[in-house]
Amino acid sequence: MEIGAKLSAARKNAGFTQEALSEKLGVTPQAISTWERNENVPDTRNLIDLARILEISLDDLFSESDAPSWELRSPTFSPEHMYTYVKARAQAEKLNQTLAALPLMREKHSGQFREGIARVPYAVHPLTLACHALAMGLADDDIVAAALLHDVIEDTGTLPDELPVSSRVREAVCLVSYNTYQGDKKDIKPLYYANIRQNPLASLIKCIDRCNNLACMADGFTKKKMKTYVVETEKYVLPLLDVIKEVPAYNNAAWLLRYQIITMLETFKRLLYPHLWQLFLRHDRQ
């Protein structure tokens, strides 16, 4: 059922004529008529008022009425395969820090699971970051080791001095670890990202991390948290890509990450705010 038919049905169900509803909204009856004939779409303000007056949700207006035939599946990961792959690449490329970071990461994250419906071992997350870096051609010891250890300080209580890596990698891991800052996470967020921006390696790790978290968002985030995460990504994470692209060795990765992150952001925006997407489509066709 199209939005016009849904709007007409909701109006009649609420006991309004087109004239009575137009008076409530402060628009002409002709405007109501064009909406119900799908010749036009109400603007955002009118959509919100319509939902309130007719006691319906915006999702009711814009969601599909027929249920999908597909079934939901839990994500499938093989941490053992990923671990073996990263180890083999590290041996071939002589990435000594990575070879030291792998067993420490596995030990520290042992027994931990990712937030979500599926009980995915937490080690899958840093291993995914390492695989992502390698897939983008970043077979760099500092990058892969930092990717593997990026959550060890924050999530396992490990001290920075315990990390078997260089001071450069240790600094990047500290910068992306919220618990190395003083104060509430919400309050220190501007400082947290400002400090990361001063460090290209930390910026790169944070962007790869956010790319993976966005990809997994639908499995474990509430709708409210998804919206907050989209806003945070646009405000704080996207500017980090400008830092990354200034490093010649990271330039191609910056382009790929920008494409991946923005594609996911725009997909989630359209799913979270379908009325805005419908308005965009109508405006684009005019």
Cβ atoms 31, 90 nearer than 8 A = no
Contact 144, 95 (CB under 8 A): yes
* Overall domain count for the chain: 2
CA distance 102 to 144: 10
Do residues 165 and 97 lie in contact, with contact meaning Cβ atoms separated by under 8 Å?
A: yes
**C-alpha closest to that of 227 among 190, 218, 260:** 218
Distance of CA 140 to the CA centre of its chain: 25
**Mean pLDDT for the chain overall:** 89
Using the predicted structure, report yes or no on whether residue 154 has a pLDDT greater than 70: yes
Answer for the pair 82, 131: CB distance below 8 angstroms, yes or no. Answer: yes
Same domain, 177 and 62: no
**Residue 127 falls within a domain, yes or no?**
yes
Domain endpoint, select from 71, 101, 123: 71
Same domain, 196 and 236: yes
Are the CB atoms for 49 and 23 separated by under 8 Å?
A: no
175 and 101: one domain? Answer: yes
Burial of 86 (0-12, 13-18, 19+ CB in 10 A): buried
270: confidence class by pLDDT, cuts 50, 70, 90: confident
Q: Which residues span the domain enclosing 44?
A: 3-71
Asked whether residue 248 is domain-assigned, the answer is yes
Domain presence at residue 180: yes
Q: How far apart are the first and last CA of the chain?
A: 22
Backbone phi and psi for residue 67, each to the nearest 5 degrees, phi listed first: -75, 140
Rg of the chain on CA atoms, in Å: 24
CATH code assigned at 145:
1.10.3210.10
Q: Which of 71, 94, 129 is the last residue of a domain?
A: 71
Cα dihedral across residues 106, 181, 203, 232: positive or negative: positive
Q: Residue 244 domain-assigned?
A: yes
Report yes or no: 59 and 40 within 8 Å, Cβ to Cβ. Answer: no
Q: Which two tokens stand for residue 259?
A: 């494409």
Does residue 62 surpass a pLDDT of 70? no
Q: Read off the tokens for 212.
A: 């993976």
Residue 281 located in a structural domain = no
Reading the block at residue 226, the tokens are 């998804």
257 and 192 fall within a common domain: yes
Please give the share of the chain, as a percent, with pLDDT higher than 90. Answer: 68
Tens-digit pLDDT profile for residues 7-42:
899 999 999 999 999 999 999 999 999 989 988 878
> Lowest mean pLDDT: which of 7-21, 34-48, 245-259, 272-286?
272-286
Q: Is the dihedral of CA 87, 136, 210, 248 positive or negative?
A: positive
- What gap in Å lies between CA 263 and CA 55, rounded to an integer? 34
- Domain ends where: 41, 71, 101? 71
Contact 200, 243 (CB under 8 A): yes
pLDDT band at 286 (very low <50, low <70, confident <90, very high): very low
Examine the pLDDT at 130 and tell me if it is beyond 60. yes
The mean pLDDT value for 247-275 works out to: 91
CA angle 171, 175, 177 (to 5 degrees): 115
pTM, to two decimals = 0.76
> Are residues 199 and 89 part of one domain?
yes
- Candidates 18, 44, 20; CA nearest to 31 is 18
Identity (one letter) of the amino acid at 170? R
**Structure-token pair, residue 175:** 């910068």
Instruction: Work out the average pLDDT over 199-221.
Output: 93
pLDDT for residue 76 is more than 80: no
- Same structural domain, 234 and 130: yes
Q: Do 142 and 57 fall within a single domain?
A: no
